[in-house]
Structure 1
Amino acid sequence: MLTRSAADYERPSVSVDTILFATLDESLHVLLIRRGRWPFEGYWALPGGFVEIDESLEDAAARELFEETGLTDVSLQQLHAFGDPGRDPRSRVITISYLAQVDERQA
C-alpha cells in the first residue's frame, strides 16, 4: 500500500472574500473595491485577501475587511468555497467566501 504524507502535496494559497451588504436609504447595496495590482488591476472585486499561516479563516476575513474598509465587529457567516484550479493566474488559490451585513450606522 502506497501512502503519502501532507508534505508530499503542493500547498495551494488560501484566500477569503467578503460579500458585504449595507442598507442605505432603505436600499440594499454591496461593497466592491477596485483591485490595485496585477493580475486584475482596475477590476472591481469583493474585499478580501490571503490567509496568513497562523490565522483562522474567519480572523483573516475580519482582518481583510478591516484593512479595506475600517469596519470592526462585523458578524461573518461562511458562505461557499471556490476552488477551480485555473481561476487565478498567479497560483493555485482556494477562496472561502463570507457574508456580512451592516446598517446605515455602520456604513
Structure 2
Amino acid sequence: MAKDQKILVTVDAVVFDVSENKRTHLLLIQRKNDPYKDQWAFPGGFVEEDEDLPVACARELEEETGLSVNPKNLTQIGAFGKPGRDPRGRTITVAFHTEVDKNEQQVKGADDAAAAKWWPLNDLPNMAFDHEEILNTVL
C-alpha cells in the first residue's frame, strides 16, 4: 500500500425482522453503483469526518432504505478489514445489528440503493463484499 493511500471507514447495518417474535427476514439493498452494481448488500456507507459510528450507521440506513432507527438501538458486531474486501481501496467497515418489526415502517431503495427488500433468512441471495461473512457472525 502506498504511504499516501487513505484507509477508508464505512459502516454496515445488519437489520433483522422480528415481527413473528423471532428473526425471520434480513433487510438488504440492491446496489445502484459499482462496485457490485445490482448485487445485494447491507445498507451502509462511508463515515463522515466528524460522525460517531452508530450515528453514521443510522444515517446510512435511513438514506438507503427509509428505515429510521435510534443509533442507541444499534449493537456493534465488529470491525471487518481484510485487505481486498472492497475494490475501491483499503476499507474497514464497522458493522452493527438491530432488530425491528418490518411492518412498522415501509422500506424503499433510495440514495445509493436501487431497491430495498426484506429477504427470508432461509432464502438469501449472494451478497456483495464480505457481507456473508459478517452475517455469519450474528446468526
On whether the aligned pair clears a TM of 0.5, the verdict is yes
CA displacement 1:74-105 (0-9 Å, x = unmatched)? 41001111011111111110000000110245
Kindly indicate whether residue 47 of structure 2 is the aligned counterpart of residue 17 of structure 1. no
Kindly indicate whether residue 77 of structure 2 is the aligned counterpart of residue 79 of structure 1. yes
| Runs of 5+ unmatched residues, structure 1 | 1-7
Q: Distance in 2 between matches of 1:95 and 1:101?
A: 20
Aligned to 1:51: 47
Which secondary structure does the structure 2 equivalent of 1:11 belong to? coil
1:73 deviates by: 3.3
| Runs of 5+ unmatched residues, structure 2 | 106-139
TM-score (structure 2 length as normaliser): 0.65
Structure showing greater radius of gyration is 1
CA contact (8 A) 2:27 2:42 kept: yes
CA displacement 1:40-97 (0-9 Å, x = unmatched)? 0011000000001110111100100111122223410011110111111111100000
Aligned to 1:5: none
Among all aligned residue pairs of Structure 1 and Structure 2, give the percentage whose two residues are the same amino acid.
47
CA contact (8 A) 1:71 1:106 kept: no
Q: Cα RMSD between the aligned structures? A: 1.9
CA contact (8 A) 1:17 1:96 kept: yes
Q: Please, which moves more after superposition, 19-28 or 90-99?
A: 19-28
Q: Distance in 2 between matches of 1:104 and 1:90?
A: 32
1:24 deviates by: 3.8
Which secondary structure does the structure 2 equivalent of 1:38 belong to? coil
CA displacement 1:21-44 (0-9 Å, x = unmatched)? 012456611001101111100110
TM-score (structure 1 length as normaliser): 0.83
Aligned to 2:64: 68
1:11 deviates by: 2.8
Q: Distance in 1 between matches of 2:95 and 2:69?
A: 18
